[in-house]
Copies of this chain bind each other. A is one copy, B any other.
Amino acid sequence: MNDECHEADSLENLRARVNNFVAERDWAQFHTPKNLAMAMIVEAAEVVEHFQWDSPAESATLSDERKTEIGHELADTFVYLLRIAEVCGIDLIAAANDKIDLNAKKYPADRARGSNAKYTAYQDK
């Protein structure tokens, strides 16, 4: 990424904002990876809660109100994800690109394509 564009990187901006938010409140002392992993799964569960009694079809047709609420739960999960990466010294974008490279080998497109059965077979450990 060239320097002129660096400021425009949306994730970099968010990361800086989150870190600043934590620093202003002196909360880094509570942000061990262990505590943050707990906080992240609590937020992920709030996403799950939104969909727990929906049929799959209902979960795919959201009112604007639900969309806003779910956006906020995803945001909370995202913020703790960024914080774990931060305190562990992990580059989240690089880690995600590495993992996709690994997954591309594990699930070759021509073999993994399409059916539910095949998909399950690939996904299950």
User: Footprint of B on A, CB under 8 Å?
Assistant: 1-2, 4-5, 8-12, 14, 17-18, 21, 24-27, 29-30, 32-35, 37-42, 44-57, 59-60, 62, 67, 70-72, 74-79, 81, 84-85, 87-100, 102-104, 107, 109, 112-114, 116, 119-120, 123-124
Which residues of B have CB within 8 Å of A47? 37, 40-41, 84
Q: How far is the CA of A83 from the CA of B62 in the complex (A)?
A: 15
Number of copies: 4
Q: Is the CB of A100 within 8 A of B18?
A: yes
Q: Is the CB of A52 within 8 A of B81?
A: no
Q: List 12 A-B contacts (CB under 8 A).
A: A5-B8, A9-B9, A10-B12, A33-B54, A37-B38, A42-B48, A53-B119, A71-B85, A71-B98, A74-B84, A74-B90, A78-B96
Which residues of B have CB within 8 Å of A50? 37
Q: How far is the CB of A46 from chain B (nearest CB, A)?
A: 8
